[in-house]
Structure 1
Amino acid sequence: MKKVAVYSSFTFSYLAKARVLAESLKKHHPDWDFYALMTDLPPVEVDFNVEDEPFDSVLWSKDIGIVNFDEWIKTHNIVEACTAVKGPAMQYLCEQGYDVVMYLDPDVAVFDSLQPLINELNDGADILLTPHQLTPEHKDDAVAIKDNELCSLTHGVYNLGFVAVNASENSEGYRFSKWWHDRLYQYCREDIPNGMFTDQRWCDLVPAFFDNVKVIRDPGYNVASWNLSQRTITFSNDGDILVNGKPLRFFHFTKLGPVGRKMTERYAVDNCEVFELWRWYKEAVKKSHVEGLPDRYWAYGAI
């Protein structure tokens, strides 16, 4: 059996969502280790004890070998910081004896087994990526082309709310983790005019730089507002959740609020099952509310 580590990067402001992610993952994979990668410090108002959380461990970003961390963190905003630490954390976990290291964004929920991803890594893949879109928009749909295809060209072909690698020392997955670590340490910026969108645009280069890269084309992975124009959610009579007839593996509930709602309403207006999923997710996040958390809290933003 493969030894699998899954991690997610967030601050205390996303703790409620990360709890939902961890609980949904553990429902299907109780034997996988889940790491909360925290680029933050606990607020005095919150009684935070990892033993009371659905996580197996907490990785504090200051403790994973980032050079000159105290000075480095001051040069990043909160989004840049939480994405920049993903590369160092991946390399760190690859060096802890795991066979597979997988990243999932904190605003993801898992709805079915992710074992098919492990099977891909068993069958010769070393790096797994999911593109924002799998299917071209209709040639006459200018709005969808702008929202989806042009947006991918701006922000990155692949959505880095997910990535998984073979973690063995001589694998392309481990070599990728070291490269990603190096690039994000220096060049994880929200600077689209200069070709950077935090951690994401870098991975456009992965199929050119590395061998054994597998692009996951199953529509059940990384379903989100940016691909709802081409993916339809249905519920089977047995209660299974399907995407274009295939099992929904995980849904990326990005931008819970006006932006995410606007995109979802635009592309899922006739797909009421999508709104049922959103309703479930909002209720789950509400139940995981962090008591006492100051509004817009980020410890490093105040240093």
Structure 2
Amino acid sequence: MIIITTTSAGHLYKAKVMARSAKTYMPDAKIVTCLIEKELHPFDTNASATSDTPEGQAADLRRSTLLKGFEYFDEVVLAKNMGIPNFDKLAFKHSALEFSCILKYYTMIYAMKKYPNEKYFVYLDSDMKVYGPFVEVMSGFENNSIVLTPHRVDPDPWEHFLKDGTFNGGFFAVKRTEDGEKFLNWMTSRLSVKNYIDEEQGLFVDQKWLNLAPAYFDVHILRHHGYNLAGWNLHEPERKQINNIGGAYRVKDKYLRLIHFSGIGIFLERVINDWFPTNKTHPLFSLLDEYKNEWDEMGRSAIKNLPWSYDFFESGERITSETRGKIKYQPELLDRHPNPFAKSNKDYEFQ
């Protein structure tokens, strides 16, 4: 099995936590991480020490903190080195979040070519943590080529996911079959054109496209409460019943496999407190604390504020949201500039 994730440098600490947890329960899996930056430095695990001076030693100490956890990655590949068509234009017109959603599928295509003897490929968002082997995913592959998980599995009247999509794009799995490869190629073809967070156009990156996947491809919908446990489904009766029996977490009577810690510092803590206002001993509180501690262990403080390198022109000028907004509605503007990063915001002001 190949487990894939995508991340910018500023979120590498999350990816390292995810990779270590995956290796804990699936030690034979290979972890392939797509780094969405222009360069690997200062995250190059093969780089030599800086110097023997006190300043150099201090720099090496900081660097060693950054690099902690890289042993859980079997490969780190720069996005620009995966042979993606029109790479610079794709990077230029998208935010970091939007671009990472395209790269999920391109990285899986890359991994299928790089590891021809591997049959099963799983994508995990960097802000996930694995709590058990993916037994049910493998069962889904018995008769299907693609595995998706819904945001929610219990019907309710909330219309939010009419806007965001039925399936969570933070997890999907693909088997090496003709249908699986068609799915990946179809997703990259669509996302290369329409991959925005844009409610007016009815888009929410890859998730609205995933709505169509069961109609077009051989999809197994994994309705397992122990996968993709997240802030948007904690209200479901079964998901609220998390317990630890003999050292193994369960969601009611099913094993906990995967938590999506999306929205920390934004909504997740509030949601947990809202659903368990009188039960501060609920396992979710300790699971969240443990996860945050792992962030710190993996060097969060040293890299959390690193800017995304594709947010800047080659001159160092930051690309404005207005510039990217114009390109969203006038994509033909990119055809005028072979290298959009060599220009400036002024080149797009009066287009």
Normalising by the residue count of structure 1, what TM-score does the alignment of the two structures yield? 0.88
Residue 222 of structure 1: aligned partner: 228
Work out the CA distance in 1 between the residues paired with 2:288 and 2:81: 35
User: Within the alignment, does 1:116 sit opposite 2:136 as a pair?
Assistant: yes
Q: Aligned pair in 2 of structure 1 residues 152, 194: CA closer, same or farther (>3 Å)?
A: same
Give the Å deviation of 1:247.
0.6
Match of residue 29, structure 1, among 26, 34, 52: 26
Give the Å deviation of 1:90.
1.9
SS, match of residue 160 in structure 1: strand
Residue 164 of structure 2: aligned partner: 155
Give the percent of matched residue pairs that are identical in Structure 1 and Structure 2.
28
Residue 40 of structure 1: aligned partner: 37
Residue 95 of structure 2: aligned partner: 77
Work out the CA distance in 2 between the residues paired with 1:63 and 1:270: 51
Q: Aligned pair in 2 of structure 1 residues 218, 292: CA closer, same or farther (>3 Å)?
A: closer
Higher mean displacement: 272-281 or 286-295: 286-295
Q: Aligned pair in 2 of structure 1 residues 205, 279: CA closer, same or farther (>3 Å)?
A: same
Residue 205 of structure 2: aligned partner: 198
Q: Aligned pair in 2 of structure 1 residues 28, 237: CA closer, same or farther (>3 Å)?
A: closer
Work out the CA distance in 2 between the residues paired with 1:47 and 1:202: 33
Q: Is contact 2:231-2:271 (8 Å) kept?
A: yes
Residue 305 of structure 2: aligned partner: 295
SS, match of residue 258 in structure 1: coil
Q: Is contact 1:108-1:253 (8 Å) kept?
A: yes
Work out the CA distance in 2 between the residues paired with 1:276 and 1:241: 12
Work out the CA distance in 1 between the residues paired with 2:306 and 2:206: 23
Give the Å deviation of 1:64.
1.6
SS, match of residue 227 in structure 2: coil
Give the Å deviation of 1:111.
0.5
SS, match of residue 277 in structure 2: coil
SS, match of residue 15 in structure 1: helix
Residue 144 of structure 2: aligned partner: 125
User: Within the alignment, does 1:188 sit opposite 2:195 as a pair?
Assistant: yes
- Structure 2: give runs of 5+ residues left out of the alignment: 47-66, 314-351
Give the Å deviation of 1:47.
4.5
Q: Is contact 2:40-2:78 (8 Å) kept?
A: no
> Could you tell me which amino acid in structure 2 is paired with residue 223 of structure 1?
L
Q: Is contact 1:220-1:242 (8 Å) kept?
A: yes
For the aligned residues, what is the CA RMSD? Answer: 1.9
Residue 213 of structure 1: aligned partner: 219
Give the Å deviation of 1:233.
4.0
Residue 251 of structure 2: aligned partner: 243
Q: Is contact 1:94-1:174 (8 Å) kept?
A: no
Work out the CA distance in 1 between the residues paired with 2:137 and 2:89: 37
Residue 155 of structure 2: aligned partner: 136
Q: Aligned pair in 2 of structure 1 residues 268, 131: CA closer, same or farther (>3 Å)?
A: farther
Residue 82 of structure 2: aligned partner: 64
SS, match of residue 130 in structure 1: strand
User: Within the alignment, does 1:105 sit opposite 2:125 as a pair?
Assistant: yes
Residue 321 of structure 2: aligned partner: none
Match of residue 274, structure 1, among 270, 276, 284: 284
Residue 45 of structure 2: aligned partner: 49
Q: Is contact 1:224-1:252 (8 Å) kept?
A: yes
Work out the CA distance in 2 between the residues paired with 1:7 and 1:251: 16
Q: Is contact 1:125-1:213 (8 Å) kept?
A: yes
Work out the CA distance in 2 between the residues paired with 1:201 and 1:111: 28
Work out the CA distance in 2 between the residues paired with 1:127 and 1:252: 20
Q: Aligned pair in 2 of structure 1 residues 13, 261: CA closer, same or farther (>3 Å)?
A: same
> Could you tell me which amino acid in structure 2 is paired with residue 49 of structure 1?
T
Work out the CA distance in 1 between the residues paired with 2:164 and 2:311: 25
Q: Is contact 2:11-2:303 (8 Å) kept?
A: no
Instruction: Provide, for residues 274-299 of structure 1, a one-character-per-residue CA deviation record: whole Å limited to 9, x for no partner.
Output: 11110110111111115643724111
- Structure 1: give runs of 5+ residues left out of the alignment: 138-144
> Could you tell me which amino acid in structure 1 is paired with residue 45 of structure 2?
N
Higher mean displacement: 184-193 or 233-242: 233-242
Instruction: Provide, for residues 20-65 of structure 1, a one-character-per-residue CA deviation record: whole Å limited to 9, x for no partner.
Output: 0000000111111101111113476x45327860200012111122
Normalising by the residue count of structure 2, what TM-score does the alignment of the two structures yield? 0.77
Larger Rg: 2
**How many residues are treated as equivalent by the alignment?**
285
Q: Is contact 2:101-2:205 (8 Å) kept?
A: yes
Work out the CA distance in 2 between the residues paired with 1:181 and 1:297: 26
Residue 142 of structure 1: aligned partner: none
Q: Aligned pair in 2 of structure 1 residues 288, 233: CA closer, same or farther (>3 Å)?
A: farther
